[in-house]
Amino acid sequence: MAISVENSVFHLETAHTLYQMKVDSFGILNHLWYGARTDCCMDYLLDYPDVGFAGNPYEAGNRRTYSLNSLPLEYAAGGAGDYRVPAVSVTHADGSGALDLRFREYRIRQGKYEIPGLPAVYAEDDEAETLEIILEDALSSVEISLLYGVLPGEDVITRAAIVKNNGNSGIKINRVHSLCMDIPRGEWEWIHFHGRHAMERQMERSPLIHGIQENGSTRGTSSHQQNPAVLLCEKGCTETNGFCMGAALMYSGGFQTQIERDQVDQVRWVMGINPDTFAWKLDPGECFHAPEVILSCSGQGMGELTHRFHHVIRHHVCRGEYKLSQRPVLINNWEATYFDFDDAKIERIAEQAAELGIDMLVLDDGWFGKRDDDMSGLGDWSVNETKLRGGLGRLIGRINEMGMKFGLWFEPEMVSEDSELYRQHPDWAIRIPGRNPVRGRYQLVLDMSRPEVVEHLYQVMSRMLRENHIEYVKWDMNRSICDWYTAKLPAERQAEMPHRYVLGLYQLLDRLTGEFPHVLFEGCSGGGGRFDAGMLYYCPQIWCSDNTDGHDRTLIQYGTSFFYPVSTVGAHVSAVPNHQTGRVTALGTRGTVAMAGTFGYELDLNMLSREEKEQVALQVKNYKAHQDLIHNGRYYRLSNPFEENGAAWAFVSEDRNKVLIQGVVFRAAANVLRMRLRLAGLKADAVYRSVQDGRTYTGQALMTGGILLPEIKGDDAAFEICLEEV
């Protein structure tokens, strides 16, 4: 049993970790432990200091030392004597806001719980167990169900929460976080991934200050600017040593993470839907389901934590026929043509791609409606026959004859004012009555909280997919959302709209991915503006960034790698000078960097020289030869490109007898020693031979002394070393 209960202590055990909670004599659920397995009840760590200005529950009598403000709470509510950031806060019908949550009951069941309408980790019944603990506020009869999914083999615990109103009058939920964890005193640091369009997921590591540190998004999407996945680690924790915890929220809308270091250096960590763009009216008898958070921890540094997240996301989040199977190497026409193409141009790109071994052509933005630039056409998902003479069927037929699959771009959630859809349904665009709507990339956002909008999109897209041999869909989303208002909800429910938007999006994705299991869906939001575990439930890969520069991509992919598996990272080789940065990097560098992803091209191959085309053919061959190792092997970060003069990573096969080391050395310098990389995850006593130069090393030598890179000339030069066990 992964879940057991003894003397009011809940033990959640995975192969290497233990999570413990205890109900105390006042019915308060205390958090005891999340970390290594200890074979011990960790309640001896509970301390009861007499801290000034602490509140004491009435029934504690004269016990000044019993305070919710000092105890580690499993799920903290606002308004009842704990002044730290709450996980949940409500307003009752009388306007008061206290929730005094006490333990009522628990249930354990085999298998992993699901969450209606929301993505969640899934597992076979023999792979997971579920614990549900119900806390209740006696006066209002508001109840909180805490859900725990324990996946012992994955070393992962998931959490979610349900608020239920069993009272007689309505309440307003002001915030309901999915994660709440109180962590003992220590020297903690947090790592989060900030960025901007075309520079997503830049890693930032900082010590915790007293007070609250926060990241989040109010953009209606998880955003380029912050990512809903955060690490908390002990000071000094490295890739291979030290303790760290990670949490990834399975949610694609606005989110919030808050980490508070309190007056006595304890830490509270909450994560969930962003309360700044959320409130929910809960009538008597109704439930609200908060999204899921995936949790793991490691005592062997961040590398091990990464492996756990990569494995659980690949095996228990991503779905569909492509989740573990080989992804097609694709050519996308966006940076080759932008809006300026016709069928002949696309066919010429496809012909060249087919010759070089590429598997699929993806036709990007501009194939539909009136769409010669980004000012019109969104919403009109029927083919533009001026550009594609003979229609989509003819073009797809030609591509298929070349031996290639065909994929198509959509931006379902958007509408241009200059479109048939907008002329017919101007009220479907999000805007506040009486105010001009805010435009982003000239476009407006469809109100995905309205069932008729979701139904329309389902009808149009499913017809396209049914009537045409489309084997891939790129699902784009190119602006942030504001002007939250929907004609379908009364005033007191308007704050529900951002979450209802996400529910509508998930519903559409669920219907389409369910009905078209052979289609590979790739998520995208101006690159990686919605790169989160929620989207990965529907789309097993996501376009990582609109920045395809070989140098910048090493930084973006480094940050992305902490939580998200390589098989989910859309990465392409594009032309130089790079369209986003103007930088020129070698074709070899661009190829090596794109190999640490789903691999493809995003340029007009006809513009390449004969030698470059030969190089492309070799890159495709090389990628296909290594794809199994790259996607199914373990990924190791070998350098920190934010601090060192290069990015280096390695893939090690599960049986540890094959290793592919790749990377880019940033700045060339004269009279310096060669870069040395210390590997990880090898068999210490095995002997490995380099495929490139035949030299042999023991695993122990490679993991301690490391390996010397070949001499490299020029800036941003890539390297690749393959090792095989002898």
| Least distance (Å) between residue 481 CB and ligand DGJ | 16
CA distance 146 to 135: 8
CA distance 467 to 318: 26
Give 372 or 715: the residue with its C-beta nearer to ligand DGJ: 372
Contact 113, 289 (CB under 8 A): no
Give 155 or 200: the residue with its C-beta nearer to ligand DGJ: 200
* Selected catalytic residue, list 340, 401, 612, 654: 612
246 belongs to the binding site for ligand DGJ (CB under 6 A): no
384 belongs to the binding site for ligand DGJ (CB under 6 A): no
Candidates 334, 521, 558, 649; binder of ligand DGJ (CB under 6 A) is 334
Q: How many other CB atoms are there within 10 angstroms of residue 355's CB atom?
A: 14
∠ CA 25-26-31, nearest 5°, is: 80
| Least distance (Å) between residue 227 CB and ligand DGJ | 16
577 preceded by a cis bond (ω within 30 of 0): yes
CA distance 645 to 662: 14
Sequence-distant (6+) residues with CB within 8 A of 192 are 204, 215, 226, 227, 230, 231, 257
CA distance 480 to 446: 12
| Least distance (Å) between residue 542 CB and ligand DGJ | 10
409 belongs to the binding site for ligand DGJ (CB under 6 A): yes
Candidates 524, 595, 703, 709; binder of ligand DGJ (CB under 6 A) is 524
| Least distance (Å) between residue 197 CB and ligand DGJ | 9
| Least distance (Å) between residue 54 CB and ligand DGJ | 51
Candidates 184, 527, 540, 663; binder of ligand DGJ (CB under 6 A) is 527
The sign of the dihedral angle between the CA atoms of 109, 111, 115, 116 is negative
| Least distance (Å) between residue 598 CB and ligand DGJ | 13
Give 280 or 543: the residue with its C-beta nearer to ligand DGJ: 543
CA distance 696 to 715: 29
Interface stretch with ligand DGJ, choices 175-183, 522-530, 626-634, 668-676 (CB under 6 A): 522-530
600 belongs to the binding site for ligand DGJ (CB under 6 A): no
* Count of alpha carbons within 13 angstroms of residue 370, beta-carbon side: 9
CA distance 51 to 55: 9
Interface stretch with ligand DGJ, choices 258-266, 381-389, 432-440, 524-532 (CB under 6 A): 524-532
- Whether 24 is catalytic is no
Pairing of strands 255-261, 414-416: unpaired
478 belongs to the binding site for ligand DGJ (CB under 6 A): yes
Amino acid at 326: Q
Name the nearest CA neighbour of 563 among 196, 161, 249: 249
Give 147 or 198: the residue with its C-beta nearer to ligand DGJ: 198
413 belongs to the binding site for ligand DGJ (CB under 6 A): no
Give 67 or 337: the residue with its C-beta nearer to ligand DGJ: 337
Which residue reads 């002001």 in tokens? 174
531 belongs to the binding site for ligand DGJ (CB under 6 A): no
Range 673-709 burial, b when 16+ CB lie within 10 A, else e: eebebbbbbbbeebebebeeeeeebbbebbbeeebeb
Candidates 364, 447, 522, 604; binder of ligand DGJ (CB under 6 A) is 364
Pairing of strands 101-110, 520-523: unpaired
Site for ligand DGJ, residues 534 to 573, rule: CB under 6 A = 543, 546
CA distance 530 to 476: 9
523 belongs to the binding site for ligand DGJ (CB under 6 A): no
Give 260 or 335: the residue with its C-beta nearer to ligand DGJ: 335
* CA torsion, ordered 314, 318, 322, 326, to nearest 10 deg: -20
414 belongs to the binding site for ligand DGJ (CB under 6 A): no
257 belongs to the binding site for ligand DGJ (CB under 6 A): no
Pairing of strands 414-416, 541-543: unpaired
Interface stretch with ligand DGJ, choices 54-62, 177-185, 519-527, 555-563 (CB under 6 A): 519-527
Interface stretch with ligand DGJ, choices 86-94, 96-104, 521-529, 691-699 (CB under 6 A): 521-529
- Whether 612 is catalytic is yes
Give 303 or 526: the residue with its C-beta nearer to ligand DGJ: 526
* Selected catalytic residue, list 532, 549, 602, 604: 532
Q: How many other CB atoms are there within 10 angstroms of residue 627's CB atom?
A: 17
475 belongs to the binding site for ligand DGJ (CB under 6 A): no
CA distance 512 to 514: 5
Candidates 82, 137, 292, 476; binder of ligand DGJ (CB under 6 A) is 476
For the annotated catalytic residues, the residue numbers are 532, 612
Contacting positions for ligand DGJ (CB under 6 A) = 334, 364-365, 409, 476, 478, 524, 526-527, 543, 546
